[in-house]
Structure 1
């Protein structure tokens, strides 16, 4: 085993040691949780119990829930499932590192720089899975393997690569529905680039064959799921996430979720909250073609957010993109530049463009972070070929590269991890409410939507959501009765004048900043 492999194995060992330490020793980070995670967990439970009609979901990609099903046999209690989900994410992170290693060899990168890249990736991937945004890490992992195939020099001459792209494209779609338009457009674009640059007719024929095989495999596999969810919602759809988010950012809501301002019934008897399938939340549609000025302003705001996200990855992000474009424009026919510059730039541009139309968040663009790191590593390798760079100067620039690509990211790392709630504290509160005060059934709250959802999850209750701010006593009573609410949770208020008379506070003030009102006699 050579020295290069030793370094990579060391990076993997560090990931395993840090990951295991986090999962088993660092109590504050053992149970990070968010509402999306609860939805994936609850959907997986439905598959385990055989409730397939309610498990089928057009909003949440099914792949993570499918992968979680075998883990459910090791524990079915709510807190155990949160922990098992983190273990699954940790495993996905391991395969993500392997994928980045493979993808890095599609770039002309000096081995010393590649080693630094992999150690940077160890910290990055740990950050990704500690965020508990399961589908985004899973999608990142699958896309890395897809790009590894489509960037390969062997792609044009081997039909297995076309079939592999189709399979990985379907897996990406099963992770998040956004992957479907990205796969189709990127696969079409890359094959077009290969085709027009094909030297012989025979080579072009192979490229066309690969392209068609990849699409056939992709639509054969993904078409099954498209048919299933289209049947459930009585309309053709490959996913409802985009439609929901498009309504959300429209003029009526401007990014404000209804779940924070009104009570919403869970979509089925087995669901914990309306967030388990937001498809059924009734929202007003809008037409971007008729409100073109609004759409243009939305794109502009998303563009500014995207630039800020790129800069949050590293101060070097914009410089890398600018230098890459400049290098390619000067030598557009250079094969090495095409693979190291053009292909990742096309992938970054296509992947980002779709989010500009609706909504963008940093976790959506993790694949961009990886590609920026790889392009930056290539540019550094190219720079080091200049005789000016002796070993001392190379080391100085390499240290600067590491710092500039890690300082900003490290700050965001700490902020995001500290901002991710630990489920164990909420779990203990939930057990107190359940066992000592018999909190169960249908619950609602005045505030703290997320924490209230976690309480519902851990108590086996149904959470109808958060009432509007400044609601009158009579309106509040009407809303609670209309939705057959059993318990109303009031956060951070010692005395609330809007609470209707006759509702009994069950905790007796024993829990700081929390009151729970019983609406019924038990």
Structure 2
């Protein structure tokens, strides 16, 4: 009996809101650490990450001509550059340091989320005008749902192992949303508005999409406070704080681009994803979309070899500054293609809400239906839920161009938070019976989602670590192995090289500190490998003429590789050294 009483007391203690938050915080941190550890163990990297690393290096060596970039925002690059500048990791540990930085950003995002969620709990509607207290989700249920949503958004949608600024941007979005709730609750001061403007500016310096969304946040702040005259007076300092923090970079970028601009990523992505302009290596086709000012040069026709040296000393110039290669592009509105993109975006959102978040969507819809008409909620839906405005604006903005999970993860948390915190049912026997059950169903669904995702990830890691089956060709070399082999063959940091493969994923170039100046796509290389000696010599000469000191061939499927190519550690990667 005494033992059972102690167990009950322990369980009761864990269900107290404070102790529950501590338990959930520990679980979220532990799971994030496992993801970061998996990223380190697998030396995970992506094409965007290489550009941010190169940009960070450029800032810290004072190469301003290269550092200021209209496509990649600077704040994430500054953070990565500072970490590498201070730690100076070896070739083997560079990507590991990057993922440790990402984990620290994850912890910061968690802290910002917890600030936001405290404001969510404080901002919940309490008794109605008739004095009746509606039934709402319990604090424990709302807390559990919040931490589960943060986990899904950060680890499954944004992905902590992805070297992109989306997780960093999410931290600023959580802070901005929390400040908005303070403003709506009436507890804000002038300092709150100044902090909101500064936070939104840091969000913009993390990702350029936050420039238009910052205006949406400021507009939402304006609508969240009464009277309107006081709201306008207080919103002005927020706008000034935003311009004070973001303005210097906007001025620097505008001077560099020769026009007033806050970023070049939006028009470029619109042209390639909506208008379907060739990417990469746009040569001016189709007619009517402009003429490239300085396109990549086609130095061999079949199979195509492109020279991409450019004015940038970086791993892969095409990825580092796409705006340079697409200068002269005229972005046109084409109704048919825009409708196709909107249809694709609509399908994405449909799957997101009714497949990926099906349990949560169904639960929230059912609870709102059960509480229909409560305190006239449907008549003033948006007037009482201003926090819906920023996520809906973000969904619409991305729908026009391109929607990806990592883009909308943080905004989904905002959307669900506003819906969940405003659930109110009439205080009846039916409501008291159904509300806990539906709450538990939603929590179980999200936990199953998290568990299933992590189980799949664990199985994928085991599969990737397994030896290749007998019928497969030689395995690919790791970026570290390619970089080390290049150095062993005398290709020193700063050298120019060519690639037969896919330059966007040529992470070895970053580790070796070499610059890709010419490339042939791997899927177009079969005529080269199967061609005669004259054709192969001509292609190699085209690479040489582009300045390449060596050629790295990735994932070669041919069993008979021409003479002169050196295999990288029994892999399907080969290196050809040019004669001096």
Fold shared by both chains (TM-score > 0.5): yes
What is aligned with 2:511? Answer: 458
1:77, distance to aligned residue in structure 2 (A): 3.3
What is aligned with 2:189? Answer: 158
Q: Structure 1 residue 139 and structure 2 residue 169: aligned?
A: yes
Q: Deviations over 1:292-316 (max 9, x none)?
A: 2222222222222233334464114
Q: Is the 8 A contact 2:477 2:573 kept in 1?
A: no
CA distance in 2, matches of 1:210, 1:385: 39
Give structure 1 stretches of 5+ with no counterpart: none
SS at match of 2:306: coil
1:30-429 to 2 correspondence within 5 Å? 31-72=43-84, 73-104=86-117, 105-107=119-121, 108=124, 109-121=137-149, 123-124=151-152, 125-127=154-156, 128-152=158-182, 153-154=184-185, 158-191=189-222, 193-194=223-224, 198=226, 203-253=227-277, 256-258=279-281, 263=306, 265-274=308-317, 275-282=319-326, 285-289=329-333, 291-311=334-354, 313-316=356-359, 318-319=361-362, 330=373, 342-375=385-418, 377-378=420-421, 382-383=424-425, 386-390=428-432, 396-408=437-449, 410-411=451-452, 418=460, 426-429=478-481
Q: Is the 8 A contact 1:79 1:427 kept in 2?
A: no
Which stretch shows the higher mean deviation, 381-390 or 222-231? 381-390
Q: Structure 1 residue 514 and structure 2 residue 573: aligned?
A: yes
SS at match of 2:48: helix
Q: Is the 8 A contact 1:146 1:168 kept in 2?
A: yes
CA distance in 1, matches of 2:305, 2:427: 62
Q: What's the Cα RMSD here? A: 3.8
Q: Structure 1 residue 430 and structure 2 residue 471: aligned?
A: no
1:332, distance to aligned residue in structure 2 (A): 8.8
What is aligned with 2:470? Answer: none
Aligned counterpart in structure 1 of residue 520 of structure 2, from 456, 467, 470:
467
What is aligned with 1:486? Answer: 549
Q: Is the 8 A contact 1:317 1:372 kept in 2?
A: no
TM-score by length of 1: 0.83
SS at match of 2:576: strand
CA distance in 1, matches of 2:76, 2:173: 15
Give structure 2 stretches of 5+ with no counterpart: 1-12, 125-136, 283-295, 297-303, 466-475, 529-534
Which stretch shows the higher mean deviation, 437-446 or 225-234? 437-446
Rate the CA distance shift 1:308–1:94 in 2: closer, same or farther, 3 A: same
1:371, distance to aligned residue in structure 2 (A): 2.3
Q: Is the 8 A contact 1:332 1:338 kept in 2?
A: no
Q: Is the 8 A contact 1:89 1:129 kept in 2?
A: no
Q: Is the 8 A contact 1:263 1:465 kept in 2?
A: yes
Rate the CA distance shift 1:79–1:369 in 2: closer, same or farther, 3 A: farther
Which stretch shows the higher mean deviation, 413-422 or 168-177? 413-422
1:242, distance to aligned residue in structure 2 (A): 0.7
CA distance in 2, matches of 1:431, 1:480: 19
CA distance in 2, matches of 1:81, 1:228: 30
Rate the CA distance shift 1:293–1:335 in 2: closer, same or farther, 3 A: closer
Q: Number of matched residues?
A: 503
Q: Structure 1 residue 504 and structure 2 residue 532: aligned?
A: no
Q: Is the 8 A contact 1:247 1:284 kept in 2?
A: no
CA distance in 1, matches of 2:502, 2:359: 38
What is aligned with 2:23? Answer: 10
CA distance in 2, matches of 1:303, 1:297: 10
1:47, distance to aligned residue in structure 2 (A): 2.2
CA distance in 1, matches of 2:464, 2:321: 22
1:257, distance to aligned residue in structure 2 (A): 4.0
